[in-house]
Amino acid sequence: MNTLAAIAQRVGRRLLSSIPALLGVVVITFVLMRVLPGDPAVFFASGPSAGQAEIDELRHKMGLDQPIPVQLVRYLADVATGNLGRSLTTGQPVSADMRQRLPASLELTFTALIIALVLSIPLGVAAALRPGSLIDHAVRMLCTLGVCVPTFVSGLLLIYVFYYLLGWAPDPTARIDIFAASPPDLTGFYLLDFALTGDWDGWWAAFTQLLLPAFTMALFVLAPLARMTRASMLAVLGSDFIRTANSMGLPRRRIVVAYALRNALLPVLTITGIVFSTMLGANVLVEKVFSWPGVASYALDALLASDYAPVQAFVLLMAMIFVLVNVVIDVLYGIADPRVSVE
């Protein structure tokens, strides 16, 4: 109970200390959107033939005729009450659009992160156990390719090979085949919703649709995770307590898994949190290539249309997720290494 209370207290302190940072993100994003070239009132008026009176009326309706400090105060008051504005692109409240699209992005990002961890940790451990070997060189070459190849290129290559040439993958459009029925909207996560309703044919259809974009994102983050695992394992394997365990004749598997890997996972946990936050905001290219209806593609469309509210809400959402991920990483630190006190 004392440990749980300490964890709750630590989480509360971290969340409170993040409020100024979130406020700064909101203010900076608001100001940047206002100083960017382009007038949303002109864009959303009735085409190029719109008159100045119609543009001025739309600017007044959007509040753009007020000074920027007045607009900022009004926006902060709306955010404090949960009102993120209305998207001029979709005509819907931004909060409703976010609730509809966020599960798609989270499902894609979580799946890609799991694939990346399942692949990168064994590869990093194998490379660290045999430094300078053929396995080590192969892992480092794979990491270099993962860093050098852009995500939209790897996505298009996967589509060409597995959909066009081999025909193994389904049509890379949206979260499920256009001829299949979507699951009941229970959580917004298709895999979970299909599982909860017992529709395993629909689950398999959604899963196969998810594989190509998830592997595309996984290749993007495989390199930093594998390289960090390899470097951390090399550092731990050269430490005194590992040499002592070897001299005592402990089984090699126990030394690697129970002692070396557990200590090497701490830096991997740190970079995993950073990678997850980066993936959620940087998967816009993957969403565009695979026509994935996530929040990143939604924010990009709004940015191109000078639609302020969705972009500001997206940046605020990413900042909040980044804070939450860092809090979770802090808690996992204490679980992975008891020497790191949760207090």
Q: What are the pLDDT digits (tens) for 139-149?
A: 888 887 777 77
The fold for domain 94-336 equals: MetI-like fold (1.10.3720)
- Residues 313 and 196: their CA atoms lie apart, in Å, by 30
The pLDDT of 101-105, averaged and rounded, is: 90
pLDDT at 156 over 60: yes
pLDDT at 343: 47
- Give the residue with greater pLDDT, 323 vs 159: 159
- Residues 202 and 191: their CA atoms lie apart, in Å, by 8
The pLDDT of 262-285, averaged and rounded, is: 80
pLDDT band of residue 233 (cuts 50, 70, 90) is confident
Give the bridge partners for 86, in sequence order: 93
Q: Burial letters for 39-56: b for 16+ Cβ neighbours within 10 Å, e otherwise?
A: ebbebbbeeeebeeeebe
pLDDT at 44: 61
DSSP characters for 66-99?
S-HHHHHHHHHHHHHTT---B-TTTSSBHHHHHH
Least confident of 134-138, 209-213, 254-258: 254-258
Strand, helix or coil for residue 237:
helix
DSSP label at residue 256: I
CA 240-246-251 angle, to 5 degrees, is 135
The pLDDT of 186-195, averaged and rounded, is: 89
pLDDT band of residue 112 (cuts 50, 70, 90) is very high
pLDDT at 332 over 80: no
Integer angstrom CA distances of residue 316 from 49, 104, 291, 299, 325 = 35, 18, 24, 12, 14
Least confident of 58-67, 69-78, 121-130, 146-155: 58-67
- Residues 60 and 64: their CA atoms lie apart, in Å, by 6
Q: What's the mean per-residue pLDDT of the chain? A: 81
pLDDT at 194: 92
Q: What percent of the chain has pLDDT over 90?
A: 7
Q: Burial letters for 73-94: b for 16+ Cβ neighbours within 10 Å, e otherwise?
A: eebeeebeeeebbbbbbbeebb
Which of 297, 265, 302 shows the shortest CA–CA distance to 280?
297
Backbone angles phi, psi at 86, to 5 degrees: -120, 135
pLDDT at 342: 45
- Residues 296 and 318: their CA atoms lie apart, in Å, by 10
pLDDT at 335: 63
User: Residues 86, 170: contact at Cβ < 8 Å?
Assistant: no
- Residues 336 and 185: their CA atoms lie apart, in Å, by 36
- Give the residue with greater pLDDT, 54 vs 106: 106
- Give the residue with greater pLDDT, 327 vs 287: 287
CA 90-77-59 angle, to 5 degrees, is 50
The pLDDT of 48-65, averaged and rounded, is: 67
DSSP label at residue 149: S
